[in-house]
Structure 1
Amino acid sequence: MLKHIHLENFKAQQATDLDFSKINVLTGFNSTGKTTVIQSLAFVKQSLQKKELSFNDYLLRLGDYREVVSRHDTDLPIRISVTLDGDAEELQYSLEASMGGVVESFAVDGEEGWKWDSRTDGAVEASGRLFFPIAAGGYGGGVFTSPDPAKTMQEQKRTMGWFENMLYLSSNRGFTKYNYPLLAGKPTVEDISNRTGDSSALEEWLSNLIIYRINEAKRYPAMEAQLDRMTDRLSSLGVEISPYVMSGPSVVIDLAESGMWVSAVNSGYGVNQSVASIVLGSLSEPGSLVMIEEPETHLHPRFQRAMAKILADFTKEGKRVLITSHSDHVLQELRKLVLAGTVPEEDVKVYHFAKEDRITRASEIDVTDEAALRELFS
């Protein structure tokens, strides 16, 4: 699970190090770099899945290198390093991107075990090619420096699985009709984008992923408890859902209000846009990172507090949560959960972001300090 992230020259993050726990909240004024942290992880995920640097794909559209690198200085490298807690080891994947090529490395407990450098003399691969997912798949690529390459490859595969299971919701979405057949297996972005085009790939993928996960939970009795928890969480926001596949075929998700079915597009934004986070967060795999930008969006203060409790519940199932938030209600509810002993204090980290001269700086805030939390919004 996510333990630490190091960022250099990624947008406004010139030199940022953040430690993570189970529940992580990034707060601060608009445009201070909160989303940038989440985007850095999404950028790595979509790049690894494409096996090449991918600034513009289904999760993110960031522009070109010049637009992404700090101060638009193309002489600077972008560095992103992600550290995970393994079962017994600490796993670290590092990516350095520059106009001249890419450098990847993978370490176990601080000892480098694998490396790829496109700038090496004689390298004939494209400068933006990533070899980590290829090596993790057992197909070679890069150089193993570990005395036990087989074990390193196994840890690489686990790390790739962690990135693939990462859930990123740039806004909470409700879903209605999509002209796309429901896949028998877990939907891939490639399958969807090949049929629908990039403009709707994310929405199509998330819609089909929701249906897939719900149907999977219905098929397997062992997942029944997850489905029940998902239903209870939606109910705490006054939501019932009815997903099904129409002839056409199309995927449809309806909401229920007082026993009457209502198309998701005709429901309120707050309810509509919370469905994706609660369904996918509830049914995601243990060990997954659930990233949501402003989960309180369009919600009444009472439901914002309920959402904070739901996010805390995710962590009891072995997941980690990373959100951006502008909500005093979310932070104060987390504070109450900690003070009540429902959530251990060490399980919550709150970072306040501020920008000075186009450089983001993050400072940690004590979640139990009511005055400090209120000052954030004064």
Structure 2
Amino acid sequence: MINAATIEGFKRFRSNRFELRNLSVLAGRNGSGKTSLIQAFLLAREAFRSTTDTISLNGPFGLQLGTFDDVANGEASEGFSVTLRDGDSWFGAKFSQPDKSAQQFYVHSQKFGVPSDNFAREGRAFQYLGAERIGPRLTSTIMALPHHSLNVGATGENAAQMIDSLGANPIPLARQFHPNKNVALLKDQTEAWLSAITRPIQIDTETFPYTPIVTLKYRTDLDWLSPTNMGFGVTYALPIVVAALSADQDGLLIVENPEAHLAPAGQTQIGIFLTKIAASGVQVIVETHSDHVINGIRRAIGEMQCLKSSDAIIHFLDGSDHIEVLEFTATGGISHWPKGFFDQFQIDVAALTRIRRKGAP
């Protein structure tokens, strides 16, 4: 497991260290650096995955970072670095500008140390789902990859293929919706969790012979429906569930905005789900703007006792150089509530209360 990350000279981070645990939550204002931290992870992953020292800033994992000047901190003109700790071992990459006389859309990387397994292995040891995932589609293109190398993709584009190819694979007991002694399979558990997060639902896939095309359809209490008639909530949640259930043991799952297009109850459920996945042996990093997701995590820790409170952490970024570290308590509480940390509900209620006290109708 990656225990810590140090980001130097990348975007708004001059030199910042982040402690990481089984479940690490990134929260804070828009533009405060949450996505930048994730992008630093992705560049480090790409450096270790690449067979050359040239790393594109545009393309891998759907990144569109521009040029070196766009990502280098103004006080770090010589380059930037990402250093990660796995136990007592440190590894990472240093990135430098290839040619200072011209704008370049790539950087040179210099790797150091021995990477943890979830950075070194392909397939489902490292999975990232961005905030902008694929919307409802009638068909998906099949990736020409062996099953062990397949993952959901940065936009969830491979979710249908994974259900079709790996749907009969058993799921670890700790990740099951209702753990029991019977064998539970990926497709069945995807349906169970997706039903809890969105609405009662069944899934079916079909491939067309001699074509790289797979279709996905859903069954509700009405009838079988195409994805385009189900809407965005189910489509956006599906790859999160598939990625988490199929992740390698001791793997790393990074998810941005898991709450997108979900009703409040679904946002709470996906917080519970990701906490249970973190407790099952998959390291989870989640970036969220939802107090419902946070409350789902709190309930999973305090009410359901899925995860020890000491195995989860929150990094609250408010746009300043200071990054607040918040801890969970055994009863699902949070150590402290800095200004701006999911306090808008209280602010709005207080404003409405003041209006009523003034005698307004």
Tell me, yes or no, whether TM beats 0.5. Answer: yes
Post-superposition CA distance 1:94-119 (Å, at most 9, x none): 21112269xxxxxxxxxxxxxxxxxx
Which residue of 269, 275, 278 maps to 2:238? 275
Aligned position for 1:234 = 194
Post-superposition CA distance 1:274-319 (Å, at most 9, x none): 1011111111111111111110111111111110111011123210
Alignment of 1:237-248 (within 5 A): 237=197, 238=199, 239-247=201-209, 248=211
- Unaligned 5+ residue runs, structure 1? 102-126, 133-141, 143-151, 190-200
CA distance in 2, matches of 1:74, 1:158: 29
**Number of residue-to-residue matches in the alignment:** 312
Alignment of 1:363-374 (within 5 A): 363-367=324-328, 368-369=333-334, 372=337
Q: Say whether 1:299 aligns with 2:262.
A: yes
CA distance in 1, matches of 2:11, 2:134: 26
Aligned position for 2:162 = 212
How much does 1:68 deviate?
Answer: 0.7
Aligned position for 1:351 = 315
Aligned position for 2:84 = 82
Which residue of 323, 336, 341 maps to 1:376? 341
Aligned position for 2:89 = 91
Contact 1:176–1:254 (8 Å) recurs in 2: no
Q: Specify whether residues 187 and 22 from structure 1 end up closer, same or farther in structure 2 by C-alpha distance, changes over 3 A only.
A: closer
- Unaligned 5+ residue runs, structure 2? 100-105, 173-182, 344-361
Q: Specify whether residues 11 and 158 from structure 1 end up closer, same or farther in structure 2 by C-alpha distance, changes over 3 A only.
A: closer
Contact 2:94–2:109 (8 Å) recurs in 1: no
Q: Say whether 1:66 aligns with 2:91.
A: no
How much does 1:15 deviate?
Answer: 1.2
Aligned position for 1:145 = none
Q: Specify whether residues 265 and 158 from structure 1 end up closer, same or farther in structure 2 by C-alpha distance, changes over 3 A only.
A: closer
The 3-state SS of whatever aligns with 1:332 is helix
CA distance in 2, matches of 1:167, 1:300: 25
Aligned position for 2:184 = 225
Contact 2:118–2:252 (8 Å) recurs in 1: no
Which residue of 304, 313, 316 maps to 2:279? 316
CA distance in 1, matches of 2:310, 2:232: 34
How much does 1:335 deviate?
Answer: 2.0
How much does 1:25 deviate?
Answer: 0.8
CA distance in 2, matches of 1:213, 1:255: 13
TM-score by length of 1: 0.73
The 3-state SS of whatever aligns with 1:303 is helix
Specify the code of the residue in structure 2 equivalent to 1:207. Answer: E
Specify the code of the residue in structure 2 equivalent to 1:350. Answer: I
CA distance in 1, matches of 2:296, 2:171: 31
Contact 1:162–1:287 (8 Å) recurs in 2: no
CA distance in 1, matches of 2:35, 2:171: 35
CA distance in 2, matches of 1:324, 1:222: 25
Contact 1:352–1:362 (8 Å) recurs in 2: yes
CA distance in 2, matches of 1:163, 1:246: 24
Q: Which stretch of structure 1 is more off in the superposition, 366-375 or 271-280?
A: 366-375
CA distance in 1, matches of 2:325, 2:24: 11
Contact 1:241–1:254 (8 Å) recurs in 2: yes
Q: CA RMSD in A?
A: 3.1
TM-score by length of 2: 0.76
The 3-state SS of whatever aligns with 1:372 is coil
Q: Specify whether residues 209 and 300 from structure 1 end up closer, same or farther in structure 2 by C-alpha distance, changes over 3 A only.
A: closer
Contact 2:10–2:40 (8 Å) recurs in 1: yes
The 3-state SS of whatever aligns with 1:376 is coil
Contact 2:138–2:227 (8 Å) recurs in 1: no
Contact 2:123–2:149 (8 Å) recurs in 1: no
Aligned position for 2:358 = none
Aligned position for 1:11 = 11
Q: Specify whether residues 230 and 317 from structure 1 end up closer, same or farther in structure 2 by C-alpha distance, changes over 3 A only.
A: farther
CA distance in 1, matches of 2:295, 2:117: 39
Contact 1:337–1:343 (8 Å) recurs in 2: yes
The 3-state SS of whatever aligns with 1:273 is helix
How much does 1:47 deviate?
Answer: 3.2
CA distance in 1, matches of 2:275, 2:219: 26
Specify the code of the residue in structure 2 equivalent to 1:225. Answer: A
Specify the code of the residue in structure 1 equivalent to 2:203. Answer: I
CA distance in 1, matches of 2:215, 2:45: 28
